[in-house]
Amino acid sequence: MASPIQIKTVITADAATLLNLSRKTFFDAFAHLNNAADMEAYASTAFTLQKYEEELSNPDSHFYFAVVDNTNAGYIKLNYNTAQTELQDPNAIEVERIYILQEFQGQQIGKHLLDFAIQTAIDKKFSYVWLGVWEHNNKAINFYKSKGFIQFGSHPFVLGTDEQTDILMRKEL
Ligand SMILES: CC(C)(COP(=O)(O)OP(=O)(O)OC[C@H]1O[C@@H](n2cnc3c(N)ncnc32)[C@H](O)[C@@H]1OP(=O)(O)O)[C@@H](O)C(=O)NCCC(=O)NCCS
């Protein structure tokens, strides 16, 4: 039987643990698809302890670990209000990041975290959940489609010197 998945709120004291998990899952997912210098340039500003401590102290940004067999198998970052990277609609939640360690993928952990985000938005009587996803990340796009997300736009995402396109997707509640 599959091990149970627990959702644990990430607190400021977990900043270094979250940073390590974030950096590892990001590189595992995208390093083989991008230029190494662009990855490092992005990582040098996106994955710093100071940035993670700031994000964790923002009352409108909430991080959660998915814990399986006493391991932080993945995490999700939800943004409210002005913490949202765009739109900044008070009636919506942005899923800014959702990442599962490779060895834990395909075990419904991502689904569990996304369901948690959707249920949180329903409980708050929000109108929709939205997110941005790299146009070439077919696995994630299919995952979001399977959960009822549909494309509503796109926006640029700069990785180092590489201007990429993120597809914006939303799920109406
Ligand atoms: C995308 C990601 C979060 C999905 O999490 P996961 O735990 O691997 O996925 P799950 O096991 O929860 O899959 C849940 C459902 O998504 C769908 N799904 C998952 N992968 C899929 C794929 N490759 N194609 C189509 N559907 C897929 C399925 O419907 C599946 O449900 P089912 O097996 O019961 O039918 C995870 O693979 C990941 O971290 N990838 C690397 C980082 C990344 O790309 N993050 C997103 C950045 S925007």
Tens of pLDDT, residues 31-78: 999 999 999 999 999 999 999 999 999 999 999 999 999 999 999 999
Length of the chain in residues, anyone? 173
CATH at 34:
3.40.630.30
CA distances from 163 to 47, 48, 152 (A): 19, 22, 20
In a domain, 92, yes or no: yes
Q: What is the pTM of this model?
A: 0.95
> What total of structural domains would you count in the chain?
1
In a domain, 66, yes or no: yes
- Domain range spanning residue 124? 6-131
The residue whose two tokens read 């391991």 is 71
64 tagged catalytic: no
In a domain, 1, yes or no: no
Using a pLDDT cut of 70, give the percent of the chain over it: 99
CB 154 within 8 A of CB 135: yes
In a domain, 119, yes or no: yes
Residue 1 reports pLDDT greater than 80: no
The predicted structure's pLDDT at residue 32: 96
In a domain, 53, yes or no: yes
Question: Phi and psi at residue 147, in whole multiples of 5°?
Answer: -100, 10
Distance 99 CA to ligand 1 centre (A): 10
In a domain, 87, yes or no: yes
In a domain, 102, yes or no: yes
Question: Phi and psi at residue 60, in whole multiples of 5°?
Answer: -100, 5
The predicted structure's pLDDT at residue 2: 82
Judge if the beta carbon of residue 67 lies within 6 A of ligand 1.
no
Residue 3 reports pLDDT greater than 90: no
Judge if the beta carbon of residue 164 lies within 6 A of ligand 1.
no
At 107 the three-state DSSP class reads: coil
In a domain, 10, yes or no: yes
